[in-house]
Structure 1
Amino acid sequence: MKAVDQFQIRNWQPSDRTPVTNLIRSVLAEYHLDFEPAAADCDVVEVEKYYLTTGGEFWVIQQDDQLVGTGGYYPVMRGEKAVEIRKMYLLPHVRGLGLGKYLLQQLEQAIAARGFMQIWVETASVLTTAVKLYEHNGYQPASGVETARCDRVYVKQLTNYALDYSY
């Protein structure tokens, strides 16, 4: 059994709004970053508006009945046929199991299957594990950070994207 097999990735539901908000607020606080419901985190407060009605997806990750992570993407007007991956957060006790890499790969597969050509992601340098994850998975540094809390932006081209992964 692979470590990731103990987790379930499922679509966000309205009943997840408060638990998701609390999870993201908790992870941000670990890194001394503020939860910004009227700015950088407005998409979590209004998942329907930012993800579900725009052609994106927002997922939650569960272990047994506990919410342990989140991740999503939605189309953006950057580049050609582009999306931005957002809100990839995992609670501390599930980090280091390969779940972040697995989640990223699942998001990439879903994005590619919908015909998108580019993936953008913004992050903060203090999120060192996230920075390493993106850099080790083909994301190239770019310019044009749009989120005040972030100081890094990356892009990945999906042309000739291989959907075959070995875990």
Structure 2
Amino acid sequence: METQFEIKTSTAAETEQIIDLILTIQRQEFNIPITAEDQPDLREIDEFYKEPGGEFWIAKHNDQVIGSIALINIGEGIGVIRKMFVHKDYRGKEKGIAQQLLERLIAYAAAKGINAIYLGTVQILKAAIRFYERNGFVSVEKANLPAAMPLMKLDTHFFVLHLNNEQ
């Protein structure tokens, strides 16, 4: 049976659900030693993502947040993906939630004049790495990341997607 879900921009009302979703996946599923305090952006979504020209989207099913993705606009035509998470019960190609979240972000980025989207992730998230590669992201060395890209101390693998043919 197909899961009915909607993708929308987040509001302050969903903050606690977003934090709960992300921390559960990070800590319980993948044993990543991170807290809400390590991620102050989650309590300041408007200031961190939206005001500089980015956005924060969520997937909702039955009024519950089941997925998230965010775009930081760091200027000079460069965006950074953050907070790409889908609840384990809603993952998989057949459900398409991660794919739709990513497509929404890419369409928004293109409309905002962003030419390159970067992201960092950790080795343990092998399925996420395969997902990004299937979507055209290519590996990039940490040394070759844009200077303005905010780094997460746990990230070990970095990728970029060029939205046009200019390199």
TM-score per shorter chain, which class? 0.7 to 0.9
Which position in structure 2 is the counterpart of 1:86? 82
Which position in structure 2 is the counterpart of 1:159? 164
The superposition leaves residues 65-105 of structure 1 with CA deviations (integer Å, 9 ceiling, x where unpaired) of 1110111101125xx41000110101011001221122111
Tell me if structure 1 keeps the 8 A contact 2:72–2:79. yes
Which position in structure 2 is the counterpart of 1:37? 36
TM, length-normalised to structure 1: 0.86
Secondary structure of the 1:20 match is helix
Distance 2:111 2:8 in 1: 17
Question: Identity across aligned pairs (percent)?
Answer: 28
The number of aligned residues is 156
Tell me if structure 2 keeps the 8 A contact 1:123–1:151. yes
Tell me if structure 2 keeps the 8 A contact 1:25–1:34. no
Which position in structure 1 is the counterpart of 2:148? none
Query: Structure 2, unaligned stretches of length 5 or more?
Result: 146-150
TM, length-normalised to structure 2: 0.86
Does 1:98 pair with 2:96? Answer: yes
Distance 1:147 1:53 in 2: 20
When the two chains are superposed, the root-mean-square deviation of aligned CA atoms in Å is 1.9
Structure 1 segments, 4+ long, off by >6 Å, are: none
Matches within 5 A, 1:1-167: 3=2, 6-29=4-27, 30-39=29-38, 41-76=39-74, 80-96=76-92, 97-144=95-142, 146-159=151-164
